[in-house]
Structures are given as C-alpha cells and as structure tokens.
Amino acid sequence: MKVYLVRHGQTDTNISNLYNFRGEDINQKGIQQAEELKEKIKKMEFDIIYCSPLLRARHTADIINSKNKEIIVDNRLEERKHGNLEGKPIECTNREIYWSYPTHIRYGTEETVQNLFERVNDFLNELKSKDYNSVLVVAHKGISRAFHAYFDGIPEDGKLLQLGLENAEIKEYEL
C-alpha cells in the first residue's frame, strides 16, 4: 500500500517560531500552498484521506481533496501535544533535546516523543490491515518525524529535529 503523507499549510505560529496553538488555522500563504499542492496531486490515485483532527490539517485536507474522497479524522495523527508550551517561543526549549528520542527531560506538560511515536505506530500498524491501494494522510511536522522513524528507523543519535516535512510538502512511503 502506498501512503502519501502531507504536512498542513503554513500557520502564523510557523513563521513566528512559536509552539502551535491547538485551534490554529492555516494563514493566507498556507491556503495558497494547499491550492498549489492540490494541483500537484491531482493526478495521484488514493482511496481515502486520513487527517489529523486539528483545524490546520483539516482545512488543508479540505482544500486538496479535489476528488471528494472520504476524509477520516484520526486523533492519533494529531501533532505532538505541546501542553503549556503552546504559544511560547520555541527558543524557550532546547530544540535538539525537545526532539531527541531518548531524552527524559521535560519542559512542562508536553507529550513525550515516545508517546507521539507510539500513537503513530499504532495508526500505521492498523492501516496495514486495511484493504487500500493507496492512502493520503494530512498531518503535521511531528507526525512526519514519527513516519520517518517508522519507515526508516530512528537515527542512531536519536536526534529528530532535522527530520520532518515542510509546510504543504508531500512524501511517499510503501507500507
């Protein structure tokens, strides 16, 4: 089964270097990026769309869904929960440590990388049992890091910060 992973379009916190707000939508550039992505994927075949429940991903999915495929919202595709870091400058944490798989350092009430990966692994393992030829998944940068780890392994040093999709970028995997 082919799995196409898309990251949502740009948000204001993406360009302000802040931890995302859970209810944040894509901005005008994010809408433009999604429209461009819609054209790029128009000829791609996929059976269904799975999407994060967060507004920025749902809005992106709605825009790129030119074939009017069913969209299934799955909570396991939600971005890493930043807890009390939401809206704070990303510099308030050491980003290498924040996105290091083996770390046990916590900056507040954020979800651990290990818990994020467990939910994404659960989603992908369940997806294996479905009878699809190809699936489009619309989610987040943290989710794309978890996909990378699932398909390509966790880097030996455990550092994940440099991994992940940019806004409205797409990557293909074989499940």
Report pLDDT digits (tens) over 48-63.
999 999 999 999 999 9
> By percentage, how much of the chain surpasses pLDDT 90?
96
* Assigned token pair, 157: 């040093």
**pLDDT class for 104, splitting at 50, 70, 90?**
confident
Which pLDDT belongs to residue 18? 93
The residues assigned a catalytic role are 8, 79
Phi, psi values for residue 125, rounded to 5°: -65, -40
User: Which pTM value belongs to this model?
Assistant: 0.96
- Asked whether the predicted pLDDT for residue 47 surpasses 90, the reply is yes
Pairing state between β 170-174 and 2-7: antiparallel
- Interval 110-132 mean pLDDT: 97
Which pLDDT belongs to residue 68? 96
- Interval 145-157 mean pLDDT: 95
Q: Nearest CA to 151 among 116, 125, 115, 169?
A: 125
Domains and CATH numbers, the chain: 2-174 (3.40.50.1240)
- Asked whether the predicted pLDDT for residue 116 surpasses 90, the reply is yes
Cα separations (Å) of 102 from 27, 79, 156? 34, 19, 10
Phi, psi values for residue 170, rounded to 5°: -125, 145
Which pLDDT belongs to residue 120? 98
Q: What are 172's strand-pairing partners?
A: 4
- Interval 109-129 mean pLDDT: 97
DSSP-derived secondary structure letter, 19: P
Cα dihedral sign, 120-127-40-67: negative
**pLDDT class for 41, splitting at 50, 70, 90?**
very high
